[in-house]
Amino acid sequence: MIVTLTTDFGASEYVAAMKGVLLSMDKDLRIVDVRHDIAPGNVTEGAFALFTTAPHFPFAIHVGVVDPGVGTERRGLAVVCEGAIFVGPDNGLLMPAAKRMGVKDVRELTNPAYWRHPVHPTFHGRDVFAPVAGHLCTGTKVADLGPSIHDPVDLGFGTPETTSDGWRATVISVDRFGNVVTNVPGPEAEGRWAYGAPVRIEAGRRTLAALFVRTYANAPRGALLLTVGSHGFLEIAANGDSAARMTGLEPLASVLLSGAPS
Amino acid sequence: MIVTLTTDFGASEYVAAMKGVLLSMDKDLRIVDVRHDIAPGNVTEGAFALFTTAPHFPFAIHVGVVDPGVGTERRGLAVVCEGAIFVGPDNGLLMPAAKRMGVKDVRELTNPAYWRHPVHPTFHGRDVFAPVAGHLCTGTKVADLGPSIHDPVDLGFGTPETTSDGWRATVISVDRFGNVVTNVPGPEAEGRWAYGAPVRIEAGRRTLAALFVRTYANAPRGALLLTVGSHGFLEIAANGDSAARMTGLEPLASVLLSGAPS
Amino acid sequence: MIVTLTTDFGASEYVAAMKGVLLSMDKDLRIVDVRHDIAPGNVTEGAFALFTTAPHFPFAIHVGVVDPGVGTERRGLAVVCEGAIFVGPDNGLLMPAAKRMGVKDVRELTNPAYWRHPVHPTFHGRDVFAPVAGHLCTGTKVADLGPSIHDPVDLGFGTPETTSDGWRATVISVDRFGNVVTNVPGPEAEGRWAYGAPVRIEAGRRTLAALFVRTYANAPRGALLLTVGSHGFLEIAANGDSAARMTGLEPLASVLLSGAPS
């Protein structure tokens, strides 16, 4: 069985403790780190990491812990999908990935028989989510974890506001190359804009010119561009430069994109 | 067999070389990274990482390499415990974790038959500690590694100085959320202070007010608090903020904590 | 089968997607991260990571993705060696490691039957190199991937310019301890300089005095030194300090080293 881990813990002993708990329950399971450098408490960035990676895995249990509400009354979830089970807090972290893969059942984690005791109030990753994943690896049925629920928190990535010639979008994620992922679905951009046409980017006080292109190499060296990234969303990039630096955009920022009609 | 790695090497080729050596000796062993971002040469921070994670693992060989004295006469050790063997330099890195798990035997690494040659004077991680761990995985007896010794270096985490209403403590570790772990054992704090009572924090020139609480959510949003962390030590935190930023505390700093009697 | 990964992707979802693709093809393969923090687009630094680590592994497929030319006409390669196959872009990333291990055959990746479709123009790591590695793990013959070629790009690490008493060298890599690796082969330095003798370092506008020593401990505390690192190259270091900070040297910088004859 494969268990993936996505957290905002950094490369810390918190992650290692979760791995120890998992291996104590099933010494043969395969643990894969997805990301641990999610900005502390940034649920959207964590949701995006799960959304982009889970579909590439064979059947796996994906544990997500970006959990600013730990220790409060927020629920814990196990979301059963086609080819995957997601385990983590009920705060919007799991649902975009789960819906992409096809949700079959959402269970609230209420049965303490599958937790590690005493449960520390600030470390459900080690004491609730890892043990639940370990039990699922060793044959526990999802139905034993708790009751089905029908109202999991689902923030998606937000819906960009459609304007006459584009969108007011939100930044989901910025990678280390400075590529800025927006929440505009790629197919929608392809439906409204022509490849090769100019797009105006308004970010804070900056107004910048870019081209909507199929791939980086189709834009001049150093120029801003918009393209559909490998994740399926509209991305602001620069051919050989950092779009994040050029635009000043950061995760959760707002940006106005105005293109030529296709 | 599981081998864990805790180093100050960063995510570098040094770590990968150790993994290559280990897998060359036993291609089926499981390697788990605990931490590689220990501040260079900070033995206390490395000891804390081993101390907090080793008890969560099933039987494992824990290799630690935070080794500012590499190339000098400091000894190498294999420390046999209940459920674990620790391998690394004799500089205080291994003993807090080993004592927590129950020390049965401490061996000095003197037998070069179990090392990789030529041993590079600045890379015992690759040439001594990884090969020794690999040999232990493949059946070598601890007694063959070298003689028993009875005086391993053991710095613990220091003993906080007891004051009339609290402690002068030392910072062991700071995590990426800005939580500041002190060397005051949690049960001692619970024995002397009442939950809900105020504590005064004196850090450098700053004097700050905090509450001693059971969990973050019991303190007002943005307020400093003291709580017993998931690692069992007294921790300075802030509900939704960074206590490290608010107090200016860093690893190895001194802090005076004065509470109300329980 | 063991697959190692060396990229400039950071600890990102890009790496996790590659792991998902690999595990989808062979759920039993072992994935080892070498480095993902290569400076974006720094092919030399990536080549050095592969060069220093690959020889320590048992038979493995080493996937390297530092690929500023992705989406252009640069070729993809599978380089068959004694004890290893290297897979990645034809830009100099793979050849230093491959030559160190003994090149037997170089294949250009032209057969799309072994790729993941649609191939995204900026993510050959996920859609070309990972699937090719996965196919090699599951029995595909190298000859099926594409034709043999005889002109792979090979930049080596550059050849330092010999001067009357040393070299004008280039910095290959800087580690987190501030050790500065140059492209001067260690045996050449040992052939020309005497251990214990002084060396003058000229880096930018700074001129600094150092000693050529066998190990860090042979230089005074805090002093600059030159030594042959565990990787086999001449390295500028400081006993208990950061040579990178003291010299201002960064990867790809030029440095003049002038020693006393041996």
Mutate to test the interface with A, among C26, C122, C126, C176 (most CBs of A within 10 A): C122
Q: If you average pLDDT over residues A218-245, what whole number do you get?
A: 92
A246 min Cα distance to partner chain C (Å):
17
Pairing type for strands A161-162 and A103-108 reads unpaired
Quote the tokens at residue B178. Answer: 């800005």
pLDDT for residue C38:
92
* Helices B13-25, C43-53: inter-axial angle, 10-degree rounding: 30
In tens, the pLDDT along B167-205 reads 999 999 998 889 999 999 999 999 999 999 999 999 999
Is the domain of C122 the same as that of C208?
A: no
Decide if B98 contacts B75 (C-beta within 8 A): no
Going by pLDDT thresholds of 50, 70 and 90, the confidence category of residue A260 is low
Is the domain of C123 the same as that of C190?
A: no
Is the domain of A135 the same as that of A166?
A: no
Of A35, A58, A217, the CB nearest to C72: A217
pLDDT for residue B216:
81
Is the domain of C165 the same as that of C139?
A: no
CB of A233 less than 8 A from some CB of B: no
Q: Say whether pLDDT at B163 is over 80.
A: yes
Q: If you average pLDDT over residues C179-186, what whole number do you get?
A: 96
**The amino acid at B47:** A
Q: Within a domain: residue B149? A: no
Which one of A144, A179, A204 terminates a domain?
A: A144
Is the domain of C7 the same as that of C127?
A: yes
Q: How many CB pairs under 8 A join A and B?
A: 77
Q: Within a domain: residue A246? A: yes
Q: Chain B: residue nearest A31 by CA?
A: B32
Judged by CB atoms closer than 8 Å, whether chains meet at C57 and B27 is answered as: no
Q: Within a domain: residue A201? A: yes
Q: Within a domain: residue C51? A: yes
Instruction: Tell me the chain C residues in contact with residue B120 when contact means C-beta distances shorter than 8 Å.
Output: 230
Share of chain B above pLDDT 90, in %: 83
Q: Within a domain: residue C151? A: no
Q: If you average pLDDT over residues C30-48, what whole number do you get?
A: 93
Decide if A253 contacts A170 (C-beta within 8 A): yes
* Helices B130-137, B13-25: inter-axial angle, 10-degree rounding: 30
CB of C31 less than 8 A from some CB of A: yes
Is the domain of A22 the same as that of A108?
A: yes
CATH code at position A19:
3.40.50.10790
Mutate to test the interface with A, among B9, B230, B236, B241 (most CBs of A within 10 A): B230
Average pLDDT, chain A: 94
Judged by CB atoms closer than 8 Å, whether chains meet at B13 and C35 is answered as: yes
Q: Chain B: residue nearest C49 by CA?
A: B13
Is the domain of A6 the same as that of A129?
A: yes
Is the domain of A106 the same as that of A168?
A: no
Which one of C101, C118, C144 terminates a domain?
A: C144
Is the domain of C120 the same as that of C166?
A: no
pLDDT for residue A216:
81
**The amino acid at C175:** D
pLDDT for residue A217:
79
Decide if C203 contacts C248 (C-beta within 8 A): yes
pLDDT for residue B12:
83
* Residue-range definition of the domain harbouring residue C233: 161-259
Is the domain of C138 the same as that of C207?
A: no
**The amino acid at B194:** A
Judged by CB atoms closer than 8 Å, whether chains meet at B40 and C216 is answered as: no
Q: Say whether pLDDT at B261 is over 80.
A: no
Q: If you average pLDDT over residues C61-75, what whole number do you get?
A: 90
Using alpha carbons, select from C252, C221, C251, C255 the residue that is nearest to residue C238.
C221
CB of A117 less than 8 A from some CB of B: no
CB of C121 less than 8 A from some CB of A: yes
CB of C10 less than 8 A from some CB of B: no
Cβ-Cβ contacts under 8 Å for C17 (sequence gap 6 or more):
A52, A53, A56, A230, C123, C126
Of B37, B52, B216, the CB nearest to A17: B52
Measured CA to CA in angstroms, residue C184 lies from A67, B91, C227 at distances of: 49, 34, 11
Judged by CB atoms closer than 8 Å, whether chains meet at A10 and B175 is answered as: yes
Which ranges of B26-160 does DSSP label H, i.e. alpha helix? 43-53, 95-101, 124, 130-137
In tens, the pLDDT along C222-234 reads 899 999 988 889 9
Q: Within a domain: residue A14? A: yes
Using alpha carbons, select from B62, B57, B50, B48 the residue that is nearest to residue B179.
B48
CB of A176 less than 8 A from some CB of C: yes
Is the domain of C214 the same as that of C243?
A: yes
pLDDT for residue A261:
56
Instruction: Tell me the chain A residues in contact with residue B215 when contact means C-beta distances shorter than 8 Å.
Output: 71, 121-122
CB of C200 less than 8 A from some CB of A: no
pLDDT for residue A231:
87
* Residues A222, A216: Cα–Cα separation, whole Å: 10
Q: If you average pLDDT over residues A103-120, what whole number do you get?
A: 96
CATH code at position B202:
2.40.30.90
Burial call B13-31: b when 16+ CB within 10 Å, e when fewer = bbbbbbbbbbbbbbeebbb
Q: If you average pLDDT over residues B214-229, what whole number do you get?
A: 90
Q: If you average pLDDT over residues C49-72, what whole number do you get?
A: 93
Is the domain of A46 the same as that of A91?
A: yes
CB of A148 less than 8 A from some CB of B: no
Instruction: Tell me the chain C residues in contact with residue A54 when contact means C-beta distances shorter than 8 Å.
Output: 20
Of C11, C49, C58, the CB nearest to B27: C58
Q: Say whether pLDDT at B71 is over 80.
A: no
Instruction: Tell me the chain A residues in contact with residue C17 when contact means C-beta distances shorter than 8 Å.
Output: 52-53, 56, 230
Decide if C236 contacts C224 (C-beta within 8 A): yes
Going by pLDDT thresholds of 50, 70 and 90, the confidence category of residue B10 is confident
In tens, the pLDDT along A21-40 reads 999 999 989 999 999 989 88
Q: Say whether pLDDT at B69 is over 90.
A: no
CB of B52 less than 8 A from some CB of A: yes
B130 min Cα distance to partner chain C (Å):
12
Judged by CB atoms closer than 8 Å, whether chains meet at A176 and C13 is answered as: no
CB of C28 less than 8 A from some CB of B: no
pLDDT for residue B56:
95
Q: If you average pLDDT over residues C78-105, what whole number do you get?
A: 97
* Residues B2, B28: Cα–Cα separation, whole Å: 9
Average pLDDT, chain C: 94
Cβ-Cβ contacts under 8 Å for A257 (sequence gap 6 or more):
A166, A167, A168, A169, A182, A184, A199, A200, A201, A202, A226, A234
* Bridge partner list, B210: B199
pLDDT for residue C261:
56
Share of chain A above pLDDT 70, in %: 99
C206 min Cα distance to partner chain B (Å):
26
Using alpha carbons, select from C230, B229, C71, B180 the residue that is nearest to residue A120.
B229
Q: Within a domain: residue B156? A: no
Polymer length in residues for chain C = 262
Of A11, A19, A68, the CB nearest to B36: A11
CB of C138 less than 8 A from some CB of A: no
CB of C27 less than 8 A from some CB of B: no
Using DSSP's 3-state secondary structure scheme, residue B133 falls into: helix
Q: Say whether pLDDT at C72 is over 90.
A: no
Domain count within chain A? 2
Q: Within a domain: residue B81? A: yes
Of B32, B55, B216, the CB nearest to A71: B216
With 0-12 / 13-18 / 19 or more C-beta atoms within 10 angstroms meaning exposed / middle / buried, residue C40 is: middle
Which one of A112, A144, A176 terminates a domain?
A: A144
In tens, the pLDDT along B137-159 reads 999 999 999 999 999 999 999 89
Measured CA to CA in angstroms, residue B27 lies from B57, B129, B190, C220 at distances of: 20, 17, 47, 42
